[in-house]
């Protein structure tokens, strides 16, 4: 067993713990943040069913971004949908036997990696080429894009340029899930890819990437526009209502 095997085993145990604990803490913080005002972005649905459908369109289709800027929508949708398929494809490393739908999407997930990288490239180029976006961009914005692009590129390189033993990689991760450390292939490209993935897991709960769960707690999206039909009272203020 190599030192790299033990290093990455410890790294992924730590990264997983930080990711899970960090997400639980931040989501709980989002949930208990008061929303004292009724502020849905209009035109907004007037029923709960309409609000749920609006949230679905926002999460799945990026509706508001589509209306705001078509080019950003194209690159953003390419990246997010590519990332979704890539993550789904990687479930084969954590399941045995592989679920049938995971096996079914393998070809789509493979080429979704190119869409993911292209989308990231477009979003990153926008931060250099569009003056008003360049002005408000921070180092963390560039670092997050570089990190995600590095993960996509190293993953594609291992598939098409620097092949690695994926059977051994799967055995390694299945072993981690069973608390049994298995040898990790000695492969520089794999080491870089896994290190970047672990880094993403660690910084995710403290980065702007938290918009992923955060959108579900956005009052401009998750509120029903019914001020005439029902009085809006924040949960923390309900006990004082009428006193």
Name the residue among 95, 195, 200, 125 with its Cα closest to residue 154.
Answer: 195
Rounded to an integer, the average pLDDT of 179-200 is: 96
Provide the pLDDT confidence category of residue 237 given band limits of 50, 70 and 90.
low
Its CATH architecture, for the domain 3-31+70-210, is Up-down Bundle (1.20)
Q: What is the pLDDT of residue 233?
A: 73
Phi, psi (5° rounding) for residue 36? Answer: -70, -20
pTM of the model: 0.90
Rounded to an integer, the average pLDDT of 237-243 is: 57
Radius of gyration, alpha carbons of the chain: 21
Provide the pLDDT confidence category of residue 226 given band limits of 50, 70 and 90.
confident
The structural domains of the chain, with segments of one domain joined by +, span 3-31+70-210
Give the model confidence (pLDDT) of 123-147 as tens digits.
999 999 999 999 999 999 999 999 9
Query: Distance between the two ends of the chain, CA-based, in angstroms?
Result: 69
Q: What is the pLDDT of residue 43?
A: 87
199 touches 148 (CB < 8 A): no
């Amino acid at each position: 067993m190599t030192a790299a095997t033990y290093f990455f085993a410890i790294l992924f145990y730590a990264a997983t713990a930080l990711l899970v604990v960090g997400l639980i803490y931040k989501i709980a913080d989002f949930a208990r943040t008061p929303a004292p005002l009724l502020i849905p972005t209009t035109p907004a649905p007037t029923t709960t069913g309409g609000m749920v459908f609006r949230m679905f369109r926002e999460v799945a289709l990026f509706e508001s971004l589509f209306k705001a800027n078509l080019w950003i929508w194209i690159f953003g949708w390419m990246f997010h949908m590519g990332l979704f398929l890539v993550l789904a494809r990687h479930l084969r490393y954590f399941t045995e036997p592989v679920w049938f739908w995971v096996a079914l999407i393998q070809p789509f997930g493979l080429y979704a990696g190119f869409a993911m990288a292209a989308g990231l490239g477009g979003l990153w180029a926008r931060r250099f080429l569009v003056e008003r976006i360049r002005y408000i961009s921070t180092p963390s914005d560039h670092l997050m894009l570089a990190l995600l692009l590095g993960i996509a590129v190293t993953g594609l390189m291992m598939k098409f340029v620097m092949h690695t033993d994926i059977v051994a990689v799967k055995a390694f991760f299945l072993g981690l899930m069973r608390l049994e450390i298995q040898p990790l292939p000695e492969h520089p490209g794999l080491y870089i890819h896994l290190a970047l993935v672990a880094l993403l897991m660690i910084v995710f709960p403290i980065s702007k990437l938290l918009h992923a769960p955060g959108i579900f707690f956005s009052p401009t999206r998750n509120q029903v526009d019914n001020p005439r039909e029902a009085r809006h009272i924040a949960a923390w203020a309900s006990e004082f209502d009428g006193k």
